[in-house]
Structures are given as C-alpha cells and as structure tokens.
Chain A
Amino acid sequence: MEEMILKLKQEIIEVLNLEDVQPDDINNDAPLFGEGLGLDSIDALELIVLMEKNYGIKLQDPAKGKEIFKSVNVMADYIQKNRTK
C-alpha cells in the first residue's frame, strides 16, 4: 500500500502540474481539495481521467469524486478495490 500511495502521489503531482510539491508534502489523510494544494474543479475532472487511464476505473458521475478524492488514503483505497488494470 505504501508503494501504491507514493506512486499515486507522483501521478497526481504530474497530471495536475503541482510544480513545487513533493510527495512528502501531501499528507495521506489531508483533504485533497479545499485548503492546501489549491486544487479546483478542473483538477477534479483531471483526477477522474487519471483513474480511468492508469487504473481502468470509469467514473460517470463527477459528484462521486467528492467522496473518492477526500484524501490520498481514501483514493488509494478506492483504486485498490476497483481497479481493472
């Protein structure tokens, strides 16, 4: 899981162009949205693309993203349970 979380953080940093952010800067339990990383609605949509492209998870309803993107831990957990690749 640890390895998976690190990889996920690197993927998030890359697709969202979080230029000056290191994986260690992202707290596993901290909310991805709201304060902190300064992510917005386009970032949320881009995370949906990331889940489909890298893990084969199709998310039709963007509102579901709110739950899944609560934190890196929650997101990694969801990916583990639902990934098709």
Chain B
Amino acid sequence: MERLIQCMADNVVSPLGLDSAANYESVKAGKSGLSRYGSMGNVRTPFTLSRMDRGVLDDACRSLGIPTDRYTFFEKMLLASSVQAVENAGIDASSPRVLFVVSTTKGNVSLLGEAQDFPRERVLLGVAARQVSDYFGNPNSPLVVCNACISGVCAQIEAMRAIRSGRYDCAVVVGADEQSPFIISGFLSFKAISDDFCRPFDSERRGLNLGECAATVVLKAADSVPDGCWQLVAGAIRNDANHISGPSRTGEGSYLALKEMLRFCTPDDLAFVNVHGTATAYNDEMESIALSRAGLSDVPVTGLKGYYGHTMGAAGIMESVLSMYAVKDHTVLATRGFARQGTSCPVSVSPELRRTDGRQFIKLLSGFGGCNAALLYRLNGLW
C-alpha cells in the first residue's frame, strides 16, 4: 500500500505573528509587514521590505529555550519556527526515522559582509542546517534544498518522496532567509524591486518587495489521513529550459507543473491556486499565461506578497501553511495591492476576501534558473 503523506503540524514566524494562527488572523484582517526603507548598509536606493524585528525574535527564542548567542539570525529564524512545530507535532525529532529538510536561498551569506562572532564555515548551507538538526539531536545529515525562489515547494516535495520511499517516517521541513544588503542589492541590480508596496497582478505593478519569514511543516507517513487533516497529495518541479533569469513567455514550466497537479484533481475541486505573484511585470504575466493554458482561468487565484513580500526560502512553506488555514476557514484570502487586472490572460484575482467550499489547493512558485514547482494539498473528509 502506498504511504500517504499527512501534514502533522506547522508554524510560521514573521513580522505578522509568532505562530501560524496569528499570521493567518493578521493577513485575513489585511495587515502587512511591509514598510519603506531609505537605505541599508551600502544600499542607498529606497526599497520596501518586510523585516523581522531582531529583539522580538530573540524574545521568542528565549521563551522556547533557544540560546540566542549561539545562533545567527538565519539559524534563529529556522529554530524559532521548527521548535514550535516539532512540539505541536508531538514527534521525537531525535529519531533516525526523521529527516530534516531545510529550504533557503542564501542562508548565512551576510557573514561574508559583516564581521560577526561566527565561524566562516557557517556560510556553508550544510553547516548552517546542521545547527538545526543538532539542536534536536537528529543523527541524519540534513538536506538543504537550494532552488532559488521555489525552494520551499521543492523541500516539501523531496520530504514527501523521502517518506514515500519508506526510509523515513517523518520529515521536518523548515525554510527561511535573511534580507541583507547582499540580496537587496542583487534584486535592485535586476531592477526588480519596487520602492512602493508591491501590487501583484495589477496593471500598475512595478516590482517586488522582499521579506523575512520562517516557516515549518512536519510531514509524516500515514496509512489513511483522518478527517479534518491535511494530505500532501502530489508535487512537481519543471524547468522552462528557456532563460536563467527571465520567465518563459509561454509559461512553459509552470504550465507543465500545473498540468501534473491536474492529474490528481479537477479545477472544480480547487478552492484556489496560491500563486507566486511577485508583482514583477514578467512573473505575473507568465503565471497568467500558465494558469490559462492549464484551464484554470476561472479558479480563484490568491497571492500573499502584499503582506509578506517575497520571503524566498520560506515562501513555499509559509504560503502553503496560510493556504491551509484559509481553506479550513472557507476563505480565499485577498490579494493585497491588487486593484485592476494587468495581465494579458485573465485570472480570477481579487483585493477582497472571497468564500470557498473547495477543500484542495495548489501552491505554485517559479524562480531564477527557469525552475517552476507546484504542489497539491487536500483537506480530508467532511468538516
């Protein structure tokens, strides 16, 4: 019998809240973590960012018993999120049957720029991830998924496969990124950042905002998924094979990933598609084409970048968790920043909350390297 994959617990730590429920309530109420900045380090071009308060994070760590001086900001984000999630899941994370999968784009890269009290080796992602698995006393070598902006979805897919294989019973999937001058200057050099609040799918969109967040899901093997619980049904990663930084004009990879998800559900089953929706001209246009090609033009679409910015390694996980809360709440979350359709293919996006009775959703992401990924979550049983 094929092993099913159940999501046992989740946690989101962000400027909008220190657990998933608080984050969901903030987003539902329309709050955003974004604010304007004039500069950061050598970056002297204005930008808009959702930044985690360092003091708030340290307090959260202390209340969880995490020693704050032993870990970098990035590692503390990973720990603050995963310690709570592991506790909620009630698993023994020190078991060799548990795999740690870390999703990040740049990890501790800020150590290259600033003099800090941490060994330089911590800039290696495997070494940073080990700080987390060691904290839990887990004996396995952690896996770091580093697929640019789609890492959070890929990490869940790889965790699902690792459990299906039978080698592991459980996986702790945790993602985060720190927004330092390194990343901000890079996106600015791509002219991809808006100095104003981002406007996903809007005709006036002028670029993305970056953001800080950490998010965790704990996935576990199940013979059957109980009513009212979440199942990770399927996932796929596809490449555009077109360009290393520009999205495909035909939405090729996203279309192929969506098409793969539609082998496991029909458009009518879907509460919504939670899109990448970065609010760059090219990304949102590409996603509208992919959704249209996949026959999903009428399915509600929702994007969360107006609340969090682009949280990179956390995005695929946090956006999945918020989507789970929304489906349970019969809600399609509002796409903050959207006012008027600005893509060539019509998509069903709205600045207002909408009601849904659907019980499945697709999470879609795309990123540099031409990569795209989608996954399908299903809420089991009647509720």
A-side interface residues toward B, CB under 8 Å?
Answer: 40-42, 45, 48-49, 62
Contacts and interface: CB of A to CB of B under 8 A. Distances in A.
Contacts of B190: 45
Nearest to B190: A45
B191 A40 contact: no
Given A41-B246, A49-B189, A62-B191, 10 more contacts: A40-B243, A40-B246, A41-B243, A41-B245, A42-B244, A42-B245, A45-B189, A45-B190, A45-B191, A48-B191
Majority DSSP secondary structure for residues of A touching B:
helix
A42 B189 CA distance: 10
Nearest to B45: A60
A34 B354 CA distance: 45
Contacts of A40: 243, 246
Contacts of B191: 45, 48, 62
A38 to B, nearest CB: 12
Interface residues of B, number: 7
Interface in B237-285: 243-246
Contacts, number: 13
A49 B189 CA distance: 8
A42 B190 CA distance: 8
Contacts of A49: 189
Contacts of B189: 45, 49
13 contacts: A40-B243, A40-B246, A41-B243, A41-B245, A41-B246, A42-B244, A42-B245, A45-B189, A45-B190, A45-B191, A48-B191, A49-B189, A62-B191
B160 to A, nearest CB: 34
Nearest to B282: A41
Q: Pick from B190, B191, B245, B246 the residue with the most CB of A within 10 Å.
A: B191
B205 to A, nearest CB: 14
Nearest to B246: A41
Interface string B170-192: 00000000000000000001110
A56 to B, nearest CB: 15
Q: Which 4 A-B pairs have the closest CB atoms?
A: A62-B191, A41-B246, A42-B245, A45-B190
A6 to B, nearest CB: 27
A40 B244 CA distance: 10
